[in-house]
Amino acid sequence: MPDGAQPAPGGWNRFVLEVDDLDAHAVALRAAGVRLRSDIVSGPGGRQLLIEDPSGNPVELFTPRGK
């Protein structure tokens, strides 16, 4: 990860939620105090943001390319 975090047991498997407005979700989650594991990352398939649920499990928010 950008902050130098390394894989740890139970901390890298995640599920993905597809969202239409990733930027709006990022703003709302930050305002709510949700821990973001990364900034929004863009790639050939779309854009993603990794957050943590209250138990520390990663959740990926994803917007496919072209949406």
Amino acid 13: pLDDT: 78
Entry pTM: 0.77
Per-residue pLDDT 10s for the chain (67 aa) are 778 877 665 566 788 999 999 999 999 999 999 999 889 999 999 999 999 888 788 899 999 998 7
Amino acid 36: pLDDT: 93
Separation CA 29–CA 54 (nearest Å): 12
What is the β-pairing status of strands 15-18 and 58-64?
parallel
Domains with residue ranges and CATH for the chain: 15-64 (3.10.180.10)
What is the β-pairing status of strands 15-18 and 41-43?
unpaired
